[in-house]
Amino acid sequence: MTIFANFPRFLGRRTNLAKAAALTVQPYHPSELSKVAQPERPLPVPQKTTPIIINIPPAQPYIQVNTLSNFLRIGRLYHPLCRNTFVERVQIGYYAYERREEWRTCALAAAYAGAFGPQSIEKPEFSYTMAIWRLSQLVGFDIGQRQIVGPTGRHNNLADEMIRLVDENLWNRAGVADWLVSLGF
Q: How far apart are the C-alpha atoms of 4 and 20, rounded to whole Å? A: 8
Quick check: 136 pLDDT over 80?
Answer: yes
Q: What is the pLDDT of residues 89-106, one digit of tens each?
A: 898 888 888 888 889 999
Q: 9 in a domain, yes or no?
A: no
Per-residue confidence (pLDDT) for residue 164, from 0 to 100? 93
Q: 44 in a domain, yes or no?
A: no
Confidence band of 185 (pLDDT split at 50, 70, 90): confident
Residue 81: DSSP 8-state: B
Q: How far apart are the C-alpha atoms of 31 and 36, rounded to whole Å? A: 10
Per-residue confidence (pLDDT) for residue 132, from 0 to 100? 93
Per-residue confidence (pLDDT) for residue 92, from 0 to 100? 87
Q: Decide if 75 contacts 112 (C-beta within 8 A).
A: yes
Q: Give me the count of residues in the chain.
A: 185
Per-residue confidence (pLDDT) for residue 29, from 0 to 100? 62
Q: What is the pLDDT of residues 138-181, one digit of tens each?
A: 998 999 999 999 898 999 999 999 999 999 999 999 999 999 99
Q: What is the pLDDT of residues 45-77, one digit of tens each?
A: 666 677 777 787 776 665 667 899 999 999 999
Q: How many domains does the chain have?
A: 1
Per-residue confidence (pLDDT) for residue 98, from 0 to 100? 85
Q: Which residue range(s) make up the domain with 162?
A: 68-78+107-183
Closest by Cα among 110, 80, 83, 84 to 92: 80
Q: 5 in a domain, yes or no?
A: no
Q: What is the pLDDT of residues 3-54, one digit of tens each?
A: 555 555 555 555 555 555 555 555 656 666 566 566 677 667 666 677 777 7
Q: 96 in a domain, yes or no?
A: no
Per-residue confidence (pLDDT) for residue 100, from 0 to 100? 87
Give the three-state DSSP class for 87: strand
Task: Supply the angle between the helices 173-183 and 158-167 in degrees, to the nearest 10.
Answer: 150
Determine whether 106 is exposed, middle or buried from the number of CB atoms within 10 Å of its CB (0-12, 13-18, 19+).
buried
Q: How far apart are the C-alpha atoms of 89 and 104, rounded to whole Å? A: 6
What is the CB-side half-sphere exposure of residue 90 using CA atoms within 13 A? 13
Q: How far apart are the C-alpha atoms of 40 and 106, rounded to whole Å? A: 69
Q: 73 in a domain, yes or no?
A: yes
Q: 176 in a domain, yes or no?
A: yes
Q: 99 in a domain, yes or no?
A: no
Strand partners, 156: 148
List all residues 6 or more positions away from 94 whose beta carbon is below 8 Å from its beta carbon: none
